[in-house]
Chain A
Amino acid sequence: DAGVTQSPTHLIKTRGQHVTLRCSPISGHKSVSWYQQVLGQGPQFIFQYYEKEERGRGNFPDRFSARQFPNYSSELNVNALLLGDSALYLCASSLWDNNQPQHFGDGTRLSIL
């Protein structure tokens, strides 16, 4: 089976722009979570979705939003980009929730100029 896939792998944007990141979970996984990882730090939890419903939200501003589609794929949207949004954005999937092993994609490297 294919692992978690994320697109694009790299992205360069300028301040104030909007970005959409995409994630396809492992087949059969219904839970998708998003994380932001700044260089040298651990991943920070942004959102978790299960069966198209938001199950958890981290301490991120409303500029960050996400959704999950009927095929369990997911999008993360970030509006009004700031320099501080530069990071590696990771998507993880699991069967049900975060109490199970998470399967991560290789992330999208977002650079804000």
Chain B
Amino acid sequence: SQQGEEDPQALSIQEGENATMNCSYKTSINNLQWYRQNSGRGLVHLILIRSNEREKHSGRLRVTLDTSKKSSSLLITASRAADTASYFCATVFQGTDKLIFGTGTRLQVFP
């Protein structure tokens, strides 16, 4: 079964608005990673946040991690039409080498 569950499953916003996606997981992790996937393409790595970090920024992206709640969020600020894609969180269980992906959030940004 998938380790990460994401919500919402789909999100539609206007350009310039912020988009927030959430990811929950079930067991202890080494780190949590966020990826973007454009339709029919491979995944692109966005941010990796370690289990001892609480927040990380990269350009218009902000990721938070709350290990006590076993959850993470990805915030995209001032969204653009080019941000339209599916976004996935992925985690590695502690003690394993398996990278397990969540179910994904499909983001649609309208111009």
| Chain A residues within 8 Å of B, Cβ to Cβ | 4, 33, 35, 41-45, 48, 55-56, 58, 88, 90, 92, 97-107, 109
Q: Are B30 and A99 in contact (CB under 8 A)?
A: yes
Q: How far apart are B107's CB and chain A's nearest CB, in angstroms?
A: 15
A35 to B31 CA separation, bound complex (whole angstroms): 19
Q: Are A42 and B42 in contact (CB under 8 A)?
A: no
Interchain residue pairs with CB less than 8 A apart (27): A42-B2, A42-B88, A42-B101, A42-B102, A42-B103, A43-B43, A43-B101, A44-B101, A45-B100, A45-B101, A56-B96, A56-B97, A58-B98, A90-B43, A92-B42, A98-B92, A98-B98, A98-B99, A99-B30, A99-B31, A100-B48, A102-B35, A102-B43, A102-B45, A103-B45, A105-B42, A109-B40
The main secondary structure of chain B at its interface with chain A is strand
B60 within 8 A of A: no
Q: How far apart are A7's CB and chain B's nearest CB, in angstroms?
A: 13
A87 to B90 CA separation, bound complex (whole angstroms): 19
Interface residue count for B (Cβ, 8 Å)?
Answer: 25
Q: Are B103 and A41 in contact (CB under 8 A)?
A: yes
7 nearest CB pairs, A to B: A104-B42, A42-B101, A98-B99, A56-B97, A101-B45, A104-B43, A106-B42
B82 within 8 A of A: no
